[in-house]
Amino acid sequence: MRTLVHIHDLSFAPFISETTIQTRVKELAAQLDAEYAGKNPIFLAVLNGAFMFAADLFKQLTCQPELSFVKVSSYVGTQSSGRVDELIGLQTALKDRHVVIIEDILDTGVTMDKIGTLLQSEQPASLAVCALLLKPASYKGKQQPQYIGFEIDDRFVVGYGLDYKELGRELPAVYQLIN
């Protein structure tokens, strides 16, 4: 693992190694396989951050998972209510399907609550969340995520899909901001 990584104006130190991530990904895949075998699950990976986690997770899954990539977008609607959230990229009907959302990180949980609300209206048979990282100190989401790779402290991280101003996503490990 490299030592310090410099991105734009900030420096980041090694935090979770590639080996540690891959070991944990295998454990999560085993848990998911046990739960979803025979259920024809569909996994929804949230772009952009979750692309690497989703790819590694998928290489381990044996529950015959389907995969779709989605993105949350917020636009100014025609109503006076202000901004409207929508989930783009979804091409499969989710009614009565077992759905697992794959996210890179849950911080406050606001994003996941938005996605959860949008997906519940599709009436899936079940809806679970699998996130590589969770910041428990700042998380205020409506429900506790079912599958978490690592609980981390409330400090900015990059790598393994996560960016700082669009850079750093390619790093195979997770790095944490240093002062």
109 touching ligand 5GP, by CB under 6 A: yes
Indicate the residue among 95 and 140 with the shorter CB distance to ligand 5GP. 140
Report the SS3 class of residue 3: coil
Q: Shortest approach of ligand 5GP to residue 159 CB, angstroms? A: 8
Determine contact, residues 158/12, Cβ cutoff 8 Å.
yes
User: Closest CB to ligand 5GP among 42 and 171?
Assistant: 171
Give the three-class secondary structure for 120: helix
Stretch that binds ligand 5GP, among 1-9, 36-44, 62-70, 100-108 (CB under 6 A): 100-108
Which pair of tokens denotes residue 84? 């409207």
Stretch that binds ligand 5GP, among 17-25, 52-60, 86-94, 159-167 (CB under 6 A): 159-167
Q: Which of 33, 85, 107, 113 is catalytic?
A: 107
Beta strand 98-106 with 126-134 is parallel
108 contacts ligand 5GP (rule: CB under 6 A):
yes
Interface residue with ligand 5GP among 49, 65, 124, 149 (CB under 6 A) is: 49
Could you tell me which of 42, 173, 29, 158 has the C-alpha nearest to residue 105? Answer: 158
43 within 8 A of 15, measured Cβ to Cβ:
no
| Contact status, residue 141 vs residue 105, Cβ threshold 8 Å | no
Active site residue 107: yes
Residues at the contact surface with Mg ion, assessed by CB under 5 A: 49
